[in-house]
Amino acid sequence: MGITKEDYREMSLIIGKVKEEVGTFIVGQEEAVDFILYSILAGGHTLLEGLPGLGKTMLIRTFSEVLDLGFSRIQFTPDLMPSDITGTTVIEETPDGRKDFVFREGPLFSEMVLADEINRATPKTQSALLEAMGERTVTVLGTTRPMKEPFFVLATQNPIELEGTYPLPEAQLDRFLCKVIIPNPETEELKEIIRRTTGSRSVGLRKLMGPEEIRRARKMVREVILPEEMLDVAARIVTGTHPDDSPLDEVRRWIRFGSGPRGLQSLVLAAKARALAEGRFHVSIGDLKKCAVPALRHRLLFNYEGEAAGIPADELITRLADMAAGGRMS
């Protein structure tokens, strides 16, 4: 039996309850909560950027509890080695006295992996995640091992200007379905954080989904209808980030490289996940406009003049999305 409209409505209710449950412990951060969920539903990965102490790690731990997923945390440091992440092969003595090679799994072999402060590790160690994030496998000493399913990497990074950080390679940035900026909390949000974290009341989180439900939701995301006109809008947004094809003078002047096909895939999947969360089985203009900035902001590479100008990628993508949605982009 196929997926019905009622199935979409029921899944939308479950997703809404997940968001509410996360909100009982996490204050604010609506965009982060939304796009972490969209990434999980779409089978992608999320990059969170923000200053230390804004609750990025706690947000991810909360999701792992509510979604009832196996959780592991990797603290990235300059001396972290790739084998510390993926695992290594060791020699062990068997009961009959022989010695044999045994693979010891690293923390990457979990359903939800927190790569904490990923940009504090060297590029060599950062690249250890590439295969796992892209292919859902890890190869150690010529042996390829599958990751668990579902498998989700949520990485946090501090702003690149901070001391002791390394910029992520473009190839790795492209592996993230979306990038979310964590802002400083407003006054009322800050007061509520203090009430929840310094008082005696403890919050017990309910487990509202599990691996089986997430796998089912991911299948439903793939079944969400993408009308041809919506695909055309999404493609025009992505094409507009290319300096050779963009209708925006700022893009032509300041962008060195725009988004590639994986950016379009991420935009479409995020929009489909948002449609599912809203209880719809088709993608709308609103889905594409809402998802354009998180899906594409980390895929635009500025030239030196663009970096000096200080124009944020978010502004350019928003303008491109408005033009594409209004049909004013050739």
Q: What type of residue is 234?
A: A
Q: Is residue 16 part of a domain?
A: no
**Cα–Cα distance for residue pair 130/107, rounded to 1 Å:** 15
Contact criterion met (CB below 8 Å) for 157 and 275: no
pLDDT of residue 163: 58
Q: Tell whether the torsion through CA atoms of 34, 35, 38 and 40 is positive or negative.
A: negative
Range of the domain at 165: 29-198
Residue 228 and residue 305 share a domain: yes
| Helix and strand totals (H; E) in the chain | 15, 11
* H or E element, residue 285: helix 285-296
190-230 pLDDT, tens per residue? 777 676 666 655 666 778 888 888 989 999 999 999 999 99
Residue 188 and residue 39 share a domain: yes
Contact criterion met (CB below 8 Å) for 236 and 16: no
- DSSP-based helix, strand, coil % in the chain, nearest 5: 50, 15, 35
pLDDT of residue 329: 46
Q: Is residue 46 part of a domain?
A: yes
Q: Is residue 64 part of a domain?
A: yes
CA nearest 5: which of 286, 225, 298?
A: 225
37-55 pLDDT, tens per residue? 999 999 999 998 877 666 6
Residue 105's beta-bridge partner residues? 87
Contact criterion met (CB below 8 Å) for 51 and 165: no
Report which of residues 35 and 24 the model is more confident about.
35
Residue 167 and residue 94 share a domain: yes
Residue 246 and residue 150 share a domain: no
Q: Assign residue 123 the CATH number of its domain.
A: 3.40.50.300
Q: Is residue 123 part of a domain?
A: yes
Residue 240 and residue 190 share a domain: no
Residue 190 and residue 43 share a domain: yes
What is the number of domains present in the chain? 2
Encoding tokens for residue 325?
A: 């949605």
**Cα–Cα distance for residue pair 58/65, rounded to 1 Å:** 11
Please identify, among 198, 233, 261, the residue that sits at the C-terminal boundary of a domain. 198
Band of pLDDT at residue 328, cut at 50, 70 and 90: very low
Residue 169: asked if its preceding bond is cis (omega within 30°), the reply is no
pLDDT of residue 20: 85
**Cα–Cα distance for residue pair 160/239, rounded to 1 Å:** 27
Band of pLDDT at residue 32, cut at 50, 70 and 90: confident
Residue 150 and residue 259 share a domain: no
pLDDT of residue 330: 41
Check whether 287 has a pLDDT greater than 90. Answer: yes
* Alpha carbon distances (Å) from 255 to 114, 249, 250: 31, 10, 8
Q: Is residue 4 part of a domain?
A: no
Residue 228 and residue 194 share a domain: no
Residue 167 and residue 235 share a domain: no
Q: Is residue 321 part of a domain?
A: yes
Q: Assign residue 278 the CATH number of its domain.
A: 1.10.8.80
Q: Is residue 56 part of a domain?
A: yes
